[in-house]
């Protein structure tokens, strides 16, 4: 190993021992390390690293760089948790699950000081279960899903359906905001991060056992149905799917609606919600049927 790599190696060992599991690498640093690794004849450190290729110790693995400039490099997301709930009714089991999720050491290690792990909210009796991507900045501050701008829009959609947030269930694929250097903006969770959090979502789904799951946006669809790079949410939305034992309606994420607020896109999401209302046996008024037609 050459000098530059030894320095990096010692620093990584030190951080790993102090419990750090996520490292932010700029594109420049990545390019520099790649060059050094190539000079040293080492394998594995590459700006084009594919998921699964590993850097030699101490990182467990290096994820394929995702979008955004400060590249998050996952230092080994652990195996997904195995959840065990004590006997009890659904509400008490949901409370137990919430406590386990909020105290999950890995998730806690991923949130910054004063920020929170975010568990689902709503009714254990809900017939409709909305699933988003990951908490954003507002959500991780409050510890409640969908309370920021996209969340306020989701709340208006739920209200337009004649429901309240308390009557439905609202959760995310991720129980924490995927860490990044910057306070602003979000990055999509990696497949490994989603896989880690999935048992929490599945356990919430099992306990609520809704009639319909609404997957909000591409990441929610990927997290639930598995990543399919050929799938286009613009074609996929509005078409009933099956996820385990639940009917699943894929639709656009409310933040997509905030960025594309034309009537046509609003109507598409609204038609998906009308289909959901019908599927759960709600009465749809003529007024509701005509929303966003012009
Ligand atoms: N009605 C409810 O009370 N809850 C739902 O989730 C859907 C319809
Ligand atoms: N976007 C999401 O996907 N989930 C939230 O909770 C907030 C914003």
Ligand 1 atom showing the smallest separation from residue 169 Cα: 6
Listed residue (210, 215, 238) closest to 226, CA to CA? 215
Give me the pLDDT at residue 126, please: 98
Give the pLDDT band (50/70/90) at residue 68: very low
Ligand 1 atom showing the smallest separation from residue 128 Cα: 6
Cα-to-centroid distance, 62 and ligand 2 (Å): 26
Q: Which DSSP category does 170 fall into?
A: E
| pLDDT reading at 244 higher than 90 | yes
In which residue are the tokens 């320095």 written? 7
Cα-to-centroid distance, 101 and ligand 2 (Å): 17
Give the pLDDT band (50/70/90) at residue 53: very low
Q: H/E element holding 123?
A: none
Q: Please provide the average confidence, as pLDDT, over all residues in the chain.
A: 87
- Identify the bridge partners of residue 74 per DSSP, sorted by sequence position: 22
CA 95 to the chain's CA centroid: 21
Angle, CA 287 vertex, CA 281 and CA 290 arms, to 5°: 95
| pLDDT reading at 54 higher than 80 | no
Give me the pLDDT at residue 11, please: 73
| pLDDT reading at 255 higher than 50 | yes
- Greater model confidence, 174 or 40: 174
Within 10 A of 204 (CB to CB), how many other CB atoms are there?
A: 24
Question: Is the CB of 163 within 6 Å of ligand 1?
Answer: yes
pLDDT tens, position by position, 207-235: 999 999 999 999 999 999 999 999 999 99
- Cβ atoms of 194 and 223 within 8 Å: the answer is yes
Q: H/E element holding 11?
A: helix 3-17
pLDDT tens, position by position, 154-195: 999 999 999 999 999 999 999 999 998 888 889 999 999 999
Q: In this structure, which residue's CA is closest to atom 5 in ligand 1?
A: 127
264, two tokens: 């046509």
Q: Label the pairing between strands 22-25 and 121-122.
A: unpaired
Spatial CB neighbours of 22, under 8 Å, sequence gap ≥ 6:
72, 73, 74, 75, 110, 179
Cα-to-centroid distance, 70 and ligand 1 (Å): 41
Question: Is the CB of 148 within 6 Å of ligand 2?
Answer: yes
Q: Label the pairing between strands 121-122 and 169-172.
A: antiparallel
* Nearest ligand atom owner, CA of 124: 1
Q: Is 80 exposed, middle or buried (0-12, 13-18, 19+ CB in 10 A)?
A: middle
State the Cα–Cα distance between residues 71 and 232, nearest whole angstrom.
25
Give the pLDDT band (50/70/90) at residue 290: very high
Ligand 2 atom showing the smallest separation from residue 217 Cα: 3
Spatial CB neighbours of 40, under 8 Å, sequence gap ≥ 6:
1, 2, 5
């Amino acid at each position: 190993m050459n000098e530059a790599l030894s320095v990096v190696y010692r620093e990584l060992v030190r951080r790993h021992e102090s419990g750090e599991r996520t490292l932010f690498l700029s594109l420049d640093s990545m390019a520099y390390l790649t060059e050094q690794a190539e000079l040293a004849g080492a394998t594995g450190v590459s700006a084009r690293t594919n998921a699964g290729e590993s850097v030699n110790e101490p990182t467990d693995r290096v994820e394929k760089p995702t979008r955004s400039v400060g590249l998050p490099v996952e230092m080994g997301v652990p195996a997904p948790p195995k959840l065990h709930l004590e006997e009890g009714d659904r509400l008490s089991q949901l409370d137990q699950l919430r406590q386990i999720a909020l105290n999950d050491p890995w998730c806690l290690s991923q949130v910054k000081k004063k920020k929170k792990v975010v568990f689902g909210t709503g009714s254990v009796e809900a017939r409709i279960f909305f699933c988003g991507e990951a908490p954003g900045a507002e959500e991780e501050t409050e510890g409640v899903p969908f309370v920021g701008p996209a969340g306020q829009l989701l709340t208006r959609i739920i209200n337009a359906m004649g429901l309240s947030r308390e009557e439905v269930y609202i959760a995310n694929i991720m129980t924490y905001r995927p860490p990044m250097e910057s306070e602003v903006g979000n990055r999509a969770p990696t497949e490994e991060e989603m896989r880690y959090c999935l048992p929490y979502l599945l356990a919430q789904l099992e306990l609520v056992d809704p009639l319909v799951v609404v997957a909000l946006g591409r990441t929610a669809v990927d997290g639930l149905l598995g990543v399919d790079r050929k799938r286009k949410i613009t074609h996929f939305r509005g078409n009933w799917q099956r996820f385990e034992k639940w009917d699943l309606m894929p639709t656009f994420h409310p933040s997509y609606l905030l960025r594309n607020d034309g009537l046509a896109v609003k109507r598409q999401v609204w038609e998906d919600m009308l289909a959901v209302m019908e599927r759960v046996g709600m009465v749809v008024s003529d007024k509701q049927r005509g929303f966003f037609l012009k």
